[in-house]
Structure 1
Amino acid sequence: MYSTPRHQLHCPRYTTSRLPVVGFCPQIMISVAPSRLSLAALPYEIRLEVFRNLPGDIYQQRPILANIASTCRALSDPALDLLWHTMIDIEHLLILIPRVQIDRRSYGPYTTYHINGPIQPSAWRRFDSYAKRIRVLEYARPSYVLFILFADLGQYRPGPLLPNLRQLSWDDVTQSRHQITELGHILLSFPTHSLREVTVAATYVEQDDTAHRGLLKMADLAQRDFLPRLASNAPMVRCLTLSGYMPNLLLETLPEFSSLTDLTMSDLDGVLIDGKTFRALSCLAALSTLSVDLRGVAAEALLGWTGFPSLQSFTLDGTSVDIAAAVISTISSTLFNNVCIKGSPRATVEESRHLFTRLRNFKHTLATVSLTFDELTSPSNRRYPLTDIIESLLDLHRMLHLQIISHQPNAVLVTDDCMDKMAVAWPGIKTLDLLFGYSQPGITVRGLTAFAQKCPSLCDLCLDAIDFLHRVDLGTVPLSKSCLRSISFRRWLDEAHIDENENVLESFKIAQAIDRLYPDLSMSYFSGPAMIENFIRGLQAARCDERRRLRADTVESDEMAEVAARVTSIRVVFGD
């Protein structure tokens, strides 16, 4: 046993001043008697596993680990490895870099980290003893923190800053002219061979100062080297997520990540993938999840080839419907089960039909379809039943989640017949969101009832409108055992045709119908008039009270039966 001086052991955000005495912590007794096996004598892996399973949450465990690390040499390594495994505030690590100076300006909100002199190689020893233990870095840089030191680290630190890092998540909110030119230098400090997951988000907060906006033209040139260095120094990266203002990224480097399984790029402020790079990405054998913006790809570049042999999930952002249909045709994977097309501009009914026909090629695997249009139109303003447009999707026997949304009133009408066809085609569906901006009621209570009976696994339902204006015959609404937790309708009642008293009665009937169809509906996710919501809550409370009474009666009858079973004889005595 030994005790390390407190000033030599660096445990960020933890204090050990009021912790248990040396050699003891709750649930762990460190024994040094030669006749007994001590925890310190066990292999490193076992000691590490013991510390991982300490009682309490992470905030209760860390002070215990800090105390162990400062009191026992044999246990300090596994304890420090757990303490430093995940770093959520890199500033605690940067203060260990020799010659680092922190300036907190009294006249402004900024805190600046910079190097005030040359760093000798031997001076990195203390920093390295902690940096090598970090496996996960999840840092969201505040807008008032400036890291000028990263631009100078390259001349003093030839290797990666965190050599054993596996997961990097860096969220940069930029509103300072200095921060705009810092992100690239920061990112160049982390690529290492052990890295597996990288998430970088850069948000530029515009200010009224024209000088700040002018800095957008002074793009961070160090960003240009980030992806090439990541590809060469971290070839085993599997998950890569990029978003925000990073105008100098060289996306042509992406096909060099041969181990990539998940690639997500969104809102890169005009940085787009071209057709050549997209085709090169299709050759990545391990790629299973892809989310990109293909506005920089022409339809001609997608003809005559196939790829993506392992793709399972595909998200297209801001892509036209004809480009999306061409992209779907390039997928050769037999595991493809999820497609999401969002932010598509105006499309016609025929274009959407063509897209759904392409999706039919994956009828044995596709389970999730999500499409968002700015507007879906038809010639002569004709309105088509939904199932006439998505007829090809009715062959997707494994459909679990369907979402089709148009932000403008359009050419689609959802009717009882549509709901019935979808229920027959997808009896196991769990999520159904159909919003087309159409205010006229199309689905009636009869259609909703039939759908609830045929799709008992439905959990989330969101529709434009439902026809509750017709008198609701509760005798035709059966009690069901549904899994529905969330229900939403944009339009409930036409108050122009119903007076106040009649509105209350109809609202109560609507509440009764919904309560019978979906008895376990969670009111936390209910979207509708407050009157109907209150009626449903009352009906659910009454049903709970009834169940409580039934349980109480059952218990009482069981007790009486038990007493009767104990009676062995009854003697009746009559008087004279």
Structure 2
Amino acid sequence: MHPALDVAELVDLILDHLTTPHRLVDVEIPCNKSLAALARTCKSLQDPALNVLWREQYTLSNLLRCLPSHLCEVGKIRKLSGSHHVFRITGTTQPSDWDILLSYSTRIRTLRLRSDELEVCDASVFDKISTELPCDFLCPNLTSLRFNASQLSVIPRARFFLGPKIVDLDLHLTIGSDETLLDLPIQYPTLQNLSLSCFHLTCATSSKIVSSLREITHLSADTLDRAAFEHLSRLDTLKSLCLIYPSFEDMGLTSGPLLSQPTSSAFPALQKLYLDDVTPEFAIEVISLLSHRQLESLDIGTDPFLSKTAAHRLYSALATHLSHSSLLNLRIGTPSDYTDSHSFKASIAEYMVDGPTLAVLFPFQNLTELRLQAPLGFFIDDSTAWDMARAWPHLRRLHLAAKAGAPCHNPHGIMSIHALTAFARYCSDLTSLTLTTFDARTFLIADSMHAVSQSSLEFLDVGTSPLRDSLAVALFLHAVFPKLDRITIFDEWMWDEADQVDGFGVNQQCRAWKQVQEILTS
């Protein structure tokens, strides 16, 4: 056999010489066809191929079809959304009836189940599993479980999959209570990855759960109390922490600092931190505990109306407490569930972030992704644009945008389209660029003949940038970014209708920028 053959080529070679593949079992497995063929044709590779085929499952149907057909039936039930099939076990099973099912279920390592998938199983199925399955768990070697339940009746069914080898657990319960969760036989001390998103889960319960974790490396939870947070700060295993709705009240910050005994060794292994729906003050309090930790990724969802002064305070906390060399990804914007798209009246000077405020982040010279959001966007002139490009030469994605629904501003002194050449010169890996506003109305077309060319940029969001001559702009952009093939404008969906009228001329600008893209892609 040729040593350079990969698995797919090996399968093709076998199929060329074997015209009658051996049938393993009459069960449908939605999987890689080459691996399925390999499992059927070569006994020596049967086990490895089946392990790959069954390793990750998104349904119980494949397993249930392994039961003897005379014990099973598929019926129909009527719901508001229409008729649905439901699987039932109609007779009494014997231990040997489970042999084929268990021969495959022991190979499953990852299982991802939703409520609708569990609802296709009649209650009789789980009654039989509970009383007649000749082992404790349906998938005894399962290590990773994603369980998404929106019906209270299916939540107890999670217990049939929560075996002793589970180290990765994602529970998304949109209905239920603290008791519903605590009643599940979850072995929290041995978990390495845990994501909890549970309806009406109180801070006391989530904190009790978190305080029992001993080997956790990745944690996502809604909120915690101070004791649970302090417990996490001492773990030398925790690499990733996501807190969705933490508050000063839950953490007890109204009566003292986050840690009763602040120490320079807090969160010794933390690499990724995600804080959502937090105040700037809360974010600063947490960041201050990470003095020069080797944080690689920081994501903060905070006040949609973050003022320039508050942004400066927050950026300064980052520059003071975080390692300038390790931080690669940084996002500071609105909370993930923020939906208010209404504009607001505000002072440009107070809510538009300027160059000196951005300069606070210049020390993070290894950033590969930077996403910042300000209520009225960012005031960037040509000098600031060049300083940004020099400060962040490793950027692949740069996103500086206004809050959704913010009014459009084109202040005097914004950067010219010429300044885009700064990113072409210094950011050779940049593939995506979003800028609130730059001025594309006047420039020398001859400049495009001598422009620096960068061949990585593919996407450009121009915000509310004004322009007059689509052809001239397209020629310039093609000269500077020859791979650029997609251009979008601020709230582009609002200006698609030809009869849209606004006070800023955005609808005309949108059509003009679409012409630019048409020229670039023609």
- Scaled to the shorter chain, the TM-score interval is 0.7 to 0.9
Partner Cα distance (1:76, 1:396) in 2: 51
SS in 1 for 2:438: strand
Superposed CA offset, 1:471-491 (max 9, x none): 221233432221211101122
In the alignment, is residue 276 of structure 1 matched against residue 239 of structure 2? no
Cα deviation for residue 302 of structure 1 reads: 1.5
Aligned pair in 2 of structure 1 residues 380, 90: CA closer, same or farther (>3 Å)? closer
Aligned pair in 2 of structure 1 residues 435, 479: CA closer, same or farther (>3 Å)? same
**Residue type of the alignment partner of 1:258:** R
Q: CA RMSD in A?
A: 3.8
Aligned pair in 2 of structure 1 residues 522, 78: CA closer, same or farther (>3 Å)? same
Cα deviation for residue 462 of structure 1 reads: 0.6
Give the one of 380, 387, 390 matched to 1:414: 380
Aligned pair in 2 of structure 1 residues 27, 305: CA closer, same or farther (>3 Å)? farther
**Residue type of the alignment partner of 2:472:** K
**Residue type of the alignment partner of 2:381:** T
Aligned pair in 2 of structure 1 residues 538, 346: CA closer, same or farther (>3 Å)? closer
Aligned pair in 2 of structure 1 residues 348, 152: CA closer, same or farther (>3 Å)? farther
SS in 2 for 1:229: coil
SS in 2 for 1:393: coil
Aligned pair in 2 of structure 1 residues 111, 100: CA closer, same or farther (>3 Å)? farther
1:416-431 aligned at under 5 Å gives the runs 416-431=382-397
Aligned pair in 2 of structure 1 residues 281, 101: CA closer, same or farther (>3 Å)? farther
Cα deviation for residue 324 of structure 1 reads: 0.5
Match of 1:367 in 2: 328
Cα deviation for residue 27 of structure 1 reads: 6.0
Match of 1:257 in 2: 213
Partner Cα distance (2:308, 2:87) in 1: 57
**Residue type of the alignment partner of 2:437:** A
Match of 1:517 in 2: 480
Partner Cα distance (1:80, 1:276) in 2: 46
CA contact under 8 A between 1:367 and 1:399: conserved in structure 2? Answer: yes
CA contact under 8 A between 1:309 and 1:332: conserved in structure 2? Answer: no
Partner Cα distance (1:422, 1:460) in 2: 15
Percentage of pairs with the same residue: 21
Aligned pair in 2 of structure 1 residues 77, 444: CA closer, same or farther (>3 Å)? closer
Match of 1:230 in 2: 187
Match of 2:27 in 1: none
Question: After the TM superposition, which of the residue ranges 247-256 and 283-292 deviates more from structure 2?
Answer: 247-256
Aligned pair in 2 of structure 1 residues 355, 383: CA closer, same or farther (>3 Å)? closer
Q: Which runs of 5+ in 1 are unaligned?
A: 1-19, 31-56, 205-215, 266-270, 495-502, 542-576
In the alignment, is residue 164 of structure 1 matched against residue 141 of structure 2? yes
Match of 1:240 in 2: 194
Cα deviation for residue 260 of structure 1 reads: 2.0
Superposed CA offset, 1:502-560 (max 9, x none): x4xx121111222222112133879884554445554666xxxxxxxxxxxxxxxxxxx
Cα deviation for residue 77 of structure 1 reads: 4.1
Match of 1:390 in 2: 358
SS in 1 for 2:310: helix
Superposed CA offset, 1:5-32 (max 9, x none): xxxxxxxxxxxxxxx9xxx9526779xx
Partner Cα distance (1:253, 1:383) in 2: 40
SS in 2 for 1:491: coil
Cα deviation for residue 298 of structure 1 reads: 4.1
Partner Cα distance (2:312, 2:389) in 1: 20
**Residue type of the alignment partner of 1:231:** Y
CA contact under 8 A between 2:451 and 2:480: conserved in structure 1? Answer: yes
Match of 1:38 in 2: none
In the alignment, is residue 26 of structure 1 matched against residue 3 of structure 2? no
Match of 1:467 in 2: 439
Cα deviation for residue 376 of structure 1 reads: 11
Partner Cα distance (2:369, 2:17) in 1: 49
Match of 1:81 in 2: 51
Aligned pair in 2 of structure 1 residues 385, 142: CA closer, same or farther (>3 Å)? closer
Aligned pair in 2 of structure 1 residues 396, 106: CA closer, same or farther (>3 Å)? closer
**Residue type of the alignment partner of 1:305:** P
**Residue type of the alignment partner of 1:223:** L
Aligned pair in 2 of structure 1 residues 344, 188: CA closer, same or farther (>3 Å)? farther
**Residue type of the alignment partner of 1:409:** L
Give the one of 219, 230, 236 matched to 1:285: 236
Aligned length: 449
CA contact under 8 A between 1:261 and 1:289: conserved in structure 2? Answer: yes
1:204-219 aligned at under 5 Å gives the runs 204=174, 219=177
Partner Cα distance (2:121, 2:487) in 1: 42
Match of 1:194 in 2: 165
Partner Cα distance (1:168, 1:428) in 2: 37
Partner Cα distance (1:279, 1:151) in 2: 42
1:97-496 aligned at under 5 Å gives the runs 104-108=75-79, 109-112=83-86, 124-142=98-116, 145-146=120-121, 148=123, 149-150=125-126, 153-154=129-130, 156=132, 159-172=136-149, 174=150, 179-183=151-155, 185-202=156-173, 204=174, 219=177, 221-226=179-184, 229-231=186-188, 235=190, 237-243=191-197, 245=199, 247=201, 250-265=206-221, 272-293=223-244, 294-295=246-247, 296-299=250-253, 300-303=256-259, 304-306=261-263, 307-332=266-291, 334-360=293-319, 361=321, 362-373=323-334, 382=350, 386-406=354-374, 408-409=375-376, 412-436=378-402, 437=406, 438-441=408-411, 442-469=414-441, 471-477=442-448, 478-482=450-454, 483-493=456-466
Match of 1:545 in 2: none
**Residue type of the alignment partner of 2:486:** M
CA contact under 8 A between 2:410 and 2:465: conserved in structure 1? Answer: no
CA contact under 8 A between 1:224 and 1:250: conserved in structure 2? Answer: no
**Residue type of the alignment partner of 1:394:** F
Aligned pair in 2 of structure 1 residues 111, 343: CA closer, same or farther (>3 Å)? farther
Normalised by the length of structure 2, the TM-score is 0.74
Match of 2:9 in 1: none
**Residue type of the alignment partner of 1:386:** D
Question: After the TM superposition, which of the residue ranges 145-154 and 312-321 deviates more from structure 2?
Answer: 145-154
Partner Cα distance (2:268, 2:429) in 1: 32
Partner Cα distance (1:376, 1:349) in 2: 16
Aligned pair in 2 of structure 1 residues 379, 298: CA closer, same or farther (>3 Å)? farther
Partner Cα distance (1:28, 1:312) in 2: 51
Using CA pairs below 8 Å that are at least 6 residues apart, which structure has the higher relative contact order? Answer: 2
**Residue type of the alignment partner of 1:340:** D
**Residue type of the alignment partner of 1:104:** G
